Structure 1
Amino acid sequence: MNQTEGPIAYTAIPDKVTRNAHAAFASDPAARIAKNAVSASPIRKVARVPEALSLDASTFDVQLSQGDITNQKRSGRCWMFASLNTMRFRIMKKLNLKTFELSQAYPLFWDKYERANWFFQNIIATANEPVTSRDVSFLLLDPLCDGGQWDMFRSIVKKYGVVPKDAMPETHCSSNTGDMDAFLTRFLRAGAKALRDMIAGGADKETLAAKQAELLEQFYRMLAICLGEPPKSFEARIRDKDDKLVVSGTFSPKQFFDEYVGMNLDDYISVINAPTEDKPYYRSYSVRFLGNVAEDGGVHYVNLPVESLKRAAIAQLKDGLPVWFGCDVDQNYLQDDGMMGITTMDADGLFGVPVMAGLDKAARLDYGESLMTHAMVFQGVNLDGEGKPTLWRVENSWGKDHGHDGYDLMTDDWFSEYVYQVVIDRKYLTEDELAAYDSASTPLAPWDPMGALA
């Protein structure tokens, strides 16, 4: 019989353990000093190591020039901002612009609309499972969060294109998505119940399709009220650094992407680093239930050693193109200093116990301590005498007042520990790496940490 079957025989903490803990704390001057410091200041400020912050952030060996820093505000659209920042970089370079910004509300609308369709189809596919099953519970848990992955953004742009920010500006709901997401999610759950009830009552495919169409029309109405309707075409006039009119005309969103971004989206693929036993390197993976545009399929990536991610990212930067990446941003991160570094905080020294040293990267994934939480863009890197990276320049989407004028610094050892995904042009991967990516993918469970949404 499995050990977890039946009641667990819980036992009380022995009095001796608590007495020993109290005595050890009372006799330790360092613990008392740490207590006094933490009682008056945030833990990260107390654990901050100033010597580890003395890094030159003014220039890099490889450095790209980007426009004004963007700001996702109170929304979880970092993956969209990072993706659009890689695309606006191409527009600025092509048109000789000082700065430029693509609409972030536009892909937000289409992602949520497509994700509603994806959700309803998954609900129908799992209708024979009890609502308490792990699959259905997962689908209902958070069907419409703001987060996503590169493959999902690629699917949206392939279908809908992009538009300048003026063509679909921000609304209160796009910059502050909490209430909108809550009402949309409640609607989706009610729709899920209606579909499951119809299936239980013997409804045929045509009846279900009609109901799903009705739900999607209603969902579109809610989105349009919150975000406005996305334009089918728009007027665009853009002047370059020299005040020369370089764009003037009427465009569809797909025409604008094709003409001014000019990016072969299918060439850019997701490469992950997950050093866990269940995901051997040089294999491709997908994640069940993870996607948005139904006809484009779900996410797909290849798992490689972290040095392969670094090598490809450096090659792409050297060719003058930024690199989208996903990481666990909150780990060992000093936000006020704009610094991600392994030695920037000494939590183990502060607490006198192995807090940070207790788990390696694989164990952090296996035991729920870490996963991808944020997407940003590499815009530069410093290299040592052997060409190995030492420091990365990171474009964030938290406004210009954050970090170093909107940029963060990332030490290379932090990259090794907390970067989980990069998006790379296929040409920067080796034949073996590409063969692994192009092989049949192994589906991961929906709740696998590599299915986390930035």
Structure 2
Amino acid sequence: MEKNVQAVTSEDLAAASEAFRAERANLVAKNAVSSKGIRAAARVPEAVAKSALGFDVEVPQGDRCDQERSGRCWMFASLNTMRFRTIKKYNLKTFELSQAYPLFWDKLEKSNWFLGNVLDTLDEPVDGRLVSFLLADPIGDGGQWDMFKSLVRKYGVCPKEAMPETACSRNTREMDSYLTRYLRGCACRLRRAHEAGVGADDLASMRREMMGEVYQLLATCLGEPPASFEVRLRDKDDKLALSGTFTPQEFFAEAVGMELDDYVSLISAPTADKPFGHAYTVSRLGNVEEDGGVRYLNLPVSELKRCAMEQLADGLPVWFGCDVAQSYLSDEGIMDTAALDVDALFGFPVEGCMDRAERLEFGESLMTHAMVLEGVRLGADGAPELWKVENSWGKDHGRNGFDTISDAWFDEYVYQVVVDKKYLTDEERHVFETEEARVLAPWDPMGSLARTR
């Protein structure tokens, strides 16, 4: 097919320049944006004022947590939903579960998952889309709720004091870089061995040796995870509320007591290839090999809101995933489609050039960050107007570590919530529990991992 060449001519440029300079609004916008930046110039103060704190339903938490320079938002969000139960059960002022502990096991399990995928694709071309995808980011910091659930089921949790942060957990870049390099080298060795005729048993032996070296690298960076630890928790009145020696699994059962399998992932992807009302999984996405991958139920966003509101009303926070950078005043902690009028600033649709489905389909949007819903403000009709969010960027972010989400922003950019399956309708629950999941490609936007910092 002959290429349709249409060059940008000097006449085109002259016409565009003349049109730009003819509009006073363009000149004002140019001065504002070039001096302060796009978002600062597009900020709408009247909309910002509507995001003032004040909620009809609110679930109090402990002190703000900080993932620092790591992509562990999904871990922090998961642990924050779990620590809430510990704080409430023992009447604590605040409490924090170790985030370095699941980080160690996630890197270890992702490494094993990656090597399994390498062995499963030995006959695929190394420059093909599948192998290229697998090699691109084998052990990145990001994750999904189902992946965290698998880690807790296998390894439990521990207090932060039992496995504190290290330089490599606070800033994972170096550790990730060297582990990624090592694993790509492992992929090379396994494929070269296969090409030389090495059998499956010997390849499996190579894999076990590689995993021993992965453990060594992680232990060097993060320290070894505790097999058991001493616990002494004191309540708000300084009375001893819990003491003893626990394994991580025992501590989870005693101090958290969350029924992991009761909590399910709901997504809302209104694209033609994902009809609502069906279960989905993502090919080759996971971490703990023996626990399988992820499982979602795709529903309209109104259903995600309903379930989240019902869980909040019952006094429990809600894990959720979103595209955090969109229409976001980060310093003020405000996510609101009305708070930034970028389209008026430029004079034509930029943010408004695609709808939710089109943004997913054409690579403009996907889940990038996980946080916790802790409250909701309701209108006179009982519908949600504003959502309170616990972020994991420390107490100095937003408003004492909190963000807010307008309901309109929820409609556009929230893609996933994790709720107790009791909030599903009978039909929804039946589909989630019994339907064979439809398999999405590894690079599908619903396979994105929450990882933003």
TM-score (norm 1): 0.98
1:97 & 1:10 partners in 2: Cα distance?
68
Q: Give distance in 2, aligned partners of 1:205 and 1:17.
A: 63
CA distances 1:64-95 after superposition (whole Å, capped 9, x unpaired) = 11000000000000000000000000000000
1:121 corresponding residue in structure 2: 116
Alpha-carbon contact 2:44-2:341 (below 8 Å) kept: yes
Task: For structure 1, list consecutive stretches of 5 or more residues without a partner in the other structure.
Answer: none
Aligned to 2:195: 200
1:63 aligns with 2:58: yes
Separation in 2 of the partners of 1:402 and 1:24?
A: 41
Determine helix, strand or coil for the equivalent of 2:415.
strand
Q: Which amino acid aligns with 1:271?
A: L
Deviation at 1:56, TM superposition (A): 5.7
Mapped to 1, the partners of 2:193 and 2:388 lie a distance apart of: 53
Please name the residue that 1:443 is paired with: 439
Which amino acid in structure 2 is aligned with residue 168 of structure 1?
Answer: M
Q: Aligned partner of 1:250: which letter?
A: T
Aligned positions of 1:122-201 closer than 5 A? 122-201=117-196
How far has the Cα of 1:436 moved from its partner?
A: 2.1
Query: Could you tell me how far 1:336 is from its partner in structure 2?
Result: 1.1
Q: Deviations over 1:284-342 (max 9, x none)?
A: 11001100000000011010000000000000000000000000000000011110001
Q: How is 1:35-114 mapped onto 2 (pairs within 5 angstroms)?
A: 35-55=30-50, 57-114=52-109
Per-residue deviation, 1:26: 1.4
Could you tell which deviates more after superposition, 91-100 or 30-39? 30-39
Deviation, structure 1 residue 166: 0.1
Q: Tell me, what secondary structure is at the counterpart of 1:148?
A: coil
Aligned-partner residue type, residue 103 of structure 1: S
CA RMSD of aligned residues (A): 1.0
Equivalent position of 2:327 in the other structure = 332
Q: Which residue is equivalent to 2:318?
A: 323
What CA distance in whole angstroms lies between the structure 2 residues aligned with 1:235 and 1:57?
A: 42
Alpha carbons of structure 1 residues 34 and 58: separation in structure 2 relative to 1, 3 Å: closer
Instruction: Tell me, yes or no, if the aligned pair for 2:135 and 2:184 is still in contact at 8 Å.
Output: yes
**Structure 2 CA distance for aligned equivalents of residues 67 and 224 of structure 1:** 30
Structure 2 unpaired stretches of 5+: none
Q: 1:434 aligns with which of 394, 414, 429?
A: 429
| CA distance in 2 between partners of 1:304 and 1:165 (Å) | 36
Percentage of identical aligned residues: 59
Cα distance in structure 1, aligned partners of 2:368 and 2:343: 23
Give, in whole Å, the separation in 2 of the partners of 1:159 and 1:187: 25
- Provide the C-alpha distance between the structure 2 equivalents of 1:97 and 1:201, rounded to a whole number of angstroms: 60
- Tell me how far 1:169 sits from its aligned partner: 0.1
What amino acid sits opposite 2:24 in the alignment? P
Instruction: Give the residue type in structure 2 aligned to 1:183.
Output: Y
In 2, the alpha carbon distance for the partners of 1:9 and 1:277 equals 30
- For 1:115, the aligned partner's letter is K
Q: Which deviates more from structure 2 when the two are superposed, residues 25-34 or residues 339-348?
A: 25-34
Q: How does 1:292-441 map to 2 (within 5 A)?
A: 292-438=287-433, 439-441=435-437
Looking at structure 1, the residues matched to 122 and 4 of structure 2 have their Cα atoms a distance apart, in angstroms, of 37
Letter in 1 for 2:8: I
Alignment partner of 2:332: what SS?
Answer: coil
Report how far residue 8 of structure 1 moved.
Answer: 4.3
Structure-2 separation of matches of 1:95 and 1:102: 14
Pick closer, same or farther for the CA change 1:61–1:350 going to 2, 3 Å: same
- Give the secondary-structure state (helix, strand or coil) at the position aligned to 1:421: strand
Distance 2:120 2:219 in 1: 28
Amino acid at match of 1:453: L
- Name the amino acid aligned to 2:67: Q
Instruction: Confirm or deny: 8 A CA contact 2:51 2:406 kept in the other structure.
Output: no
User: What whole-Å deviation, never above 9, does each CA across 1:31-65 have from its counterpart, x for those lacking one?
Assistant: 11111111111211110001101136443100011
Distance in 2 between residues matched to 1:102 and 1:109, nearest whole Å: 14
Contact 2:390-2:401 at 8 Å conserved across structures:
yes
What is the count of residue pairs matched by the alignment? 449
One-letter code aligned to 2:235: D
Give the alignment's TM-score, normalised by structure 2: 0.98
The equivalent position to 1:261 in structure 2, one of 253, 256, 264, is 256
**In the alignment, what sits opposite 1:218?**
213
